[in-house]
Amino acid sequence: MNARIEADYLIETPDDPARAAEVMAGEQSSGTFVKLPGETDALLQRAAARVERLEVLGTVAAPSLPCAMPDRGTGYTRAAVTLSWPFENIGPDLPNLMATVAGNLFELRPFSGLRLEDIRLPGAFAAAGPGPRFGIAGTRRLAGVAEGPLIGTIIKPSVGLSPEDTAALAGTLAGAGIDFVKDDELQADGPACRFEDRVRAVMRVLNDHAEWTGKKAMYAFNLTGEVDDMRRRHDLVRDLGGTCVMASLNSVGLTGLLALARHSELPIHAHRNGWGALSRAPMLGWSYPAWSKLWRLAGADHMHVNGLGNKFSEPDASVIASARALMDPLFPDKPCIPMPVFSSGQSAVQPPETYRRLGSADCIYAAGGGIMGHPDGPAAGVQSLRDAWDAAMAGIAASDYARTHPALARALETYA
Amino acid sequence: MNARIEADYLIETPDDPARAAEVMAGEQSSGTFVKLPGETDALLQRAAARVERLEVLGTVAAPSLPCAMPDRGTGYTRAAVTLSWPFENIGPDLPNLMATVAGNLFELRPFSGLRLEDIRLPGAFAAAGPGPRFGIAGTRRLAGVAEGPLIGTIIKPSVGLSPEDTAALAGTLAGAGIDFVKDDELQADGPACRFEDRVRAVMRVLNDHAEWTGKKAMYAFNLTGEVDDMRRRHDLVRDLGGTCVMASLNSVGLTGLLALARHSELPIHAHRNGWGALSRAPMLGWSYPAWSKLWRLAGADHMHVNGLGNKFSEPDASVIASARALMDPLFPDKPCIPMPVFSSGQSAVQPPETYRRLGSADCIYAAGGGIMGHPDGPAAGVQSLRDAWDAAMAGIAASDYARTHPALARALETYA
């Protein structure tokens, strides 16, 4: 068993990269900028972070970030660095893991770039969080979808609908055969659409619909807020027969998500809004594999990964790398594998490529305009997405499948 | 009263900046990428974000961040943009404010740069958090420091000391006349230095010392962790006569800090580790004035601002701008002004410049090597910092003051 915590970084430095890596290790463990009496060899042996690996990747002429240390005339060296820490420094503790692997080091003087690429945790660290209690299998069970993706959508307009408007739209979507619906991240408990009123109105419609059809769409109610409010809101959703709750990860923080997850009896749909601030600068911040591991262990059942051909700035390769990273087990006996959520500008066009590159249909596949904007209405929108996935999973070209599947045919005309 | 929430951004875009600003406003409120039936004029009137201001600042030839939208041949335009939202969209709710002003927009396609510069909140938003319960006056009272800065230090080595080692060091520091001591952010409740054991050992020493001298150093115990653990740890500190607790903001999140702050009967020392990932790319993320406002309202009593001539990458002007931003009242009747904490590479050298540029001595001024590394020992280290501040506050040059103040004289020789 690996008794140490490991983290991989991409660094860029005007300094000697080996020396820069030692500065990182020092800052994030027992280092001091003046040698102190208490800094004994025994203490260093016990608590110091170690540089486990340093691989120079090349140099660039200009610094990626403003850097307080001047160039020595050698340009800025990029390197892959792995640091390790004794498990005993923090124990199985997610909030303090964050301070250890992603704390002050981003600001260190020798760096013109520093990005956390991945994290590996010793087996004993599995005790730090509940992990997803539902994950893929539990979500499929509650949504009544045995195979293929859950076809989903987001309540739009994002904000401004009343509880009754929202319920009416949820009814339309349920009537269209949707598997999954989520609140927008902008809609939690605003005075114009109170959480409790919205849940009551929506669940009345979805429960009625389920009684007639036997199928209850999974609705992720956005309960983002303070701890006591989130727990109370969760209980309301559960008591009214709801099957999912949603939280904005960067808003509630690790401690907030842990407080919800330890209480929750429903899948937690984890929204990553704000992620761009942590990730869009290529030589700063976090990569998704590293970042998502913390939230997976903290209890996220569904995690957003954007979508191919999205309306945002993320390249397709990054989207797929994120989704595939979620399939990588965190611990052999506690894999913490959440369901990836594809969304943003999705329609019946992207499923073949998504399936080919993901290698799996274990996902929530959410479209907004791709469903509501279908020229034959939302039911045809939902059907077009199912058709597109069915074709992809059967290895049939979408254009061939469309000949006998009119909803798909119209969608391909509309969105391609 | 301003009934809308406002946020200022610095943007960079290859698109027409007015159109790009409308994309931001749409994404962060009622926009949809296909016009939907529910998107009525009445709804837009009620819920849409508005572009309140757009000021073009100039153009640059190359994009600051990788950008999915191609340059139209006009380069990349930088502009200052102010958006506003109806208060009713979210109500007085800090976690959902974050999703609104700093959510998906960082990833939007038209932007090669997007940074949140400032936030202004309507008066009713003051209900969203408790604010600092102690702030400057409460901290001064508990620390027994009526004027001038609290001279402080950080327990170093950062991690690896046992509870007894930590207590012994705290005793040395108390004997040296220190006002304020903090745990390192890497030390919370690791198996090698349990929180409870550390608090018991340290408070025994500090209480003993206070009984003899009448002065109890304020010690910020790092209780970062899950909600129930933080509350339990807080109670232990309070019960043993401690006067401060510390939390890593980016580890606990807004929801975590609110849970602590609503419970806390002690000042909360708010550590910003991880801040670099949010701020170091000049055209991405958060500025400190915007970011700190959320934590101030959530209950931070002390906030880190780095220090002049620090060991990190931040320029001095940014340090001072951060500290001064904390003095800006959040609401007329609830100013939420925390005590700024200067630290990182500080010694008796920087106080004159710090005082001159801050215009105030209402701060915690923390030095590590600047105290423990003083050639005449820690008591001389503490004295040298007091001397430096006394001189600055009296308008006397440090070199003059040093003639009659030997601790300062030795410090200036050592650290200048």
> What is the band of B1 on the pLDDT scale with cuts at 50, 70, 90?
very low
Q: Which residue from A106, A226, A271 is facing B258, i.e. has the nearest CB?
A: A226
Q: Which residues of A touch B312 (CB under 8 A)?
A: 68, 104, 107-109
Most A CBs within 10 Å: which of B4, B32, B107, as the mutation test of the A interface? B107
The closest alpha carbon to A88, from A51, A116, A49, A117, belongs to A49
Residue B308 CB partners (closer than 8 Å, separation 6+) = B316, B319, B320, B342, B346, B350, B353, B354, B357
Query: For chain B, how many helices (H) and strands (E)?
Result: 16, 13
Residues in chain B, total: 416
B189/A311 touch (CB, cutoff 8 Å), yes or no: no
| pLDDT, tens digit, 9 for 90 and up, residues B106-164 | 999 999 999 999 999 999 999 999 999 999 999 999 999 999 999 999 998 888 899 99
Copy the structure tokens of residue A258. 């842990």
Residue B159: the pLDDT is 87
Q: Which residues of B touch A31 (CB under 8 A)?
A: 157-158
CB-CB contact of A222 with A159 (8 Å): no
Q: Does residue B209 register a pLDDT over 70? A: yes
A259/B254 touch (CB, cutoff 8 Å), yes or no: no
Q: Which residue from A39, A65, A99 is facing B157, i.e. has the nearest CB?
A: A39
| pLDDT, tens digit, 9 for 90 and up, residues B90-105 | 999 999 999 999 999 9
> What is the band of B193 on the pLDDT scale with cuts at 50, 70, 90?
very high
3-state SS class at A407: helix
B252/A252 touch (CB, cutoff 8 Å), yes or no: no
- Report CA Rg, chain A: 24
* Residue of chain B minimizing CA distance to A286: B277
Most B CBs within 10 Å: which of A280, A316, A343, as the mutation test of the B interface? A280
Torsion, Cα A235 A98 B222 B298, to 10 degrees, reads -50
Residue A213: the pLDDT is 96
Which positions of chain A have pLDDT values less than 50?
A: 1
CB-CB contact of A195 with A219 (8 Å): no
The whole-angstrom separation of Cα B96 and Cα A248 is: 8
Q: Does residue B254 register a pLDDT over 90? A: yes
Q: pLDDT over 90 for what percent of chain B?
A: 91
Q: What residue has token string 């904007």?
A: A373
Q: Which residues of A touch B190 (CB under 8 A)?
A: 88-91, 93, 96
pTM: 0.97
Q: Which residues of B touch A38 (CB under 8 A)?
A: 156-157, 161, 165, 169
Residue B40: the pLDDT is 82
The whole-angstrom separation of Cα B40 and Cα B25 is: 16
DSSP secondary structure of B156-198: SSSS---HHHHHHHHHHHHHTT-SEEE--TT-SS-TTS-HHHH
The closest alpha carbon to A338, from A126, A117, A154, A134, belongs to A134
A190/B88 touch (CB, cutoff 8 Å), yes or no: yes
B103/A248 touch (CB, cutoff 8 Å), yes or no: yes
- Number of CB pairs, chain A paired with chain B, less than 8 A apart: 377
Torsion, Cα B184 B187 B192 B196, to 10 degrees, reads 100
CA distance A104 to chain B (A): 5
* Residue of chain B minimizing CA distance to A369: B34
Q: Which residues of A touch B185 (CB under 8 A)?
A: 99, 103-104
Residue A1: the pLDDT is 41
Q: Which residues of B touch A257 (CB under 8 A)?
A: 253
CB-CB contact of A186 with B103 (8 Å): yes
B256/A253 touch (CB, cutoff 8 Å), yes or no: yes
* Residue of chain B minimizing CA distance to A279: B277
Residue A4: the pLDDT is 96
B104/A188 touch (CB, cutoff 8 Å), yes or no: no
B31/A157 touch (CB, cutoff 8 Å), yes or no: yes
B103/A280 touch (CB, cutoff 8 Å), yes or no: no
A251/B252 touch (CB, cutoff 8 Å), yes or no: no
Residue A40: the pLDDT is 82
The whole-angstrom separation of Cα A408 and Cα B102 is: 36
Residue A36: the pLDDT is 63
Q: What is the mean pLDDT of residues B25-40?
A: 74
The whole-angstrom separation of Cα A298 and Cα B119 is: 30
Q: Which amino acid is located at A114 in the chain? A: L
A33/B311 touch (CB, cutoff 8 Å), yes or no: yes
The DSSP H or E segment spanning A338 is none
| pLDDT, tens digit, 9 for 90 and up, residues B270-293 | 999 999 999 999 999 999 999 999
The DSSP H or E segment spanning B103 is none
Burial label for B58, CB within 10 Å (0-12, 13-18, 19+), is: exposed
DSSP secondary structure of A52-70: EEEEEEEEESS-SS--SSP
B33/A368 touch (CB, cutoff 8 Å), yes or no: yes
Domains belonging to chain A, first-starting first, are: 4-127 (3.30.70.150), 135-415 (3.20.20.110)
Q: Which residues of A touch B318 (CB under 8 A)?
A: none
The CB density around residue A404, as the number of other CB atoms within 10 Å, is 9
Residues in chain A, total: 416
The whole-angstrom separation of Cα B392 and Cα B406 is: 16
CA distance A141 to chain B (A): 30
B160/A48 touch (CB, cutoff 8 Å), yes or no: yes
CB-CB contact of A63 with A12 (8 Å): yes
Query: For chain A, how many helices (H) and strands (E)?
Result: 16, 13
CB-CB contact of A182 with A222 (8 Å): yes
B255/A254 touch (CB, cutoff 8 Å), yes or no: no
Bridge partner residues of B358 (DSSP): none
A313/B66 touch (CB, cutoff 8 Å), yes or no: yes
Copy the structure tokens of residue B279. 């701020």
ipTM score assigned to the predicted complex: 0.97
